[in-house]
Amino acid sequence: MSDPLDQLASQLGYRFRKPELLEEAVTHRSVSERNNERLEFLGDSILNFVIADQLFHRQPEDSEGGLSRLRASLVNRETLASIARQLDLGTHLRLGSGERKSGGRRRDSILSDALEGVLGAVYIDGGFTACRDLIVRLYATRLENLPSAAELKDPKTRLQEYLQSARLSLPSYEVLDIAGKAHDQTFRVECRVPGIEQVTIGEAGSRRRAEQRGAEAMLKALNPNEADQDHD
């Protein structure tokens, strides 16, 4: 295994018996037909099971719906990409020239897929227990600080509930601008509430995410005590 991948394996706390599996896990489809897509498929399935198992035992009073929302908050693209950045996974990715030039090492979708690929590689190389232990280790802080049911509601839902409780009109969202190329766009969305002068703006890589950020900003402006950090 090359030195950079040795460093990645060290950060993972796992020594590969077949180093080529880790190399495959960090190889994007823009480089080779032998890439991380199959390992990603496997890693995604194992991740969902392990997190579900952890939540089932850690949250004995939660309903199926509550457990599902918690799991979704832990295995979504943003969370996976955040963990990948903590591992500096982007530095180790093998990308085609087009993906490198367009900022692929920083893109949430590529980082999250690669992390799932790494999990799949650990499972193939060392079995379920090794993969489970790695997942629990990577998620340790998040599992110890699980969000409340209220925090799991997305900002648009929380803003709507706040406005309804205050007998105010519901918000509207308008796309002001879409910048960038098709594979790396940034949406700029305006959030307005009829009868309220305050206008907020949200920017993100998708319209949905930009609307959420606009709603979060509006909620903070109208009632800071109700606002919390963005959960998507």
Q: Any residues with CB less than 8 A from the CB of 95 and at least 6 apart, and which?
A: 28, 30, 31, 104, 105, 110
Catalytic amino acids? 44, 116
Find the distance separating the first CA and the last CA of the chain, reported in whole Å: 37
- What residue type is 43 in one-letter code? G
Residue 232 labeled ligand binder: no
29, two tokens = 């489809």
The closest alpha carbon to 42, from 105, 110, 122, 139, belongs to 122
78 is in an annotated binding site: no
Question: 154 among the known binding-site residues?
Answer: no
With residue 96 as reference, give the H or E element that holds it. none
Task: Point out the annotated binding site for Mg(2+).
Answer: 40, 113, 116
Task: Point out the annotated binding site.
Answer: 40, 113, 116
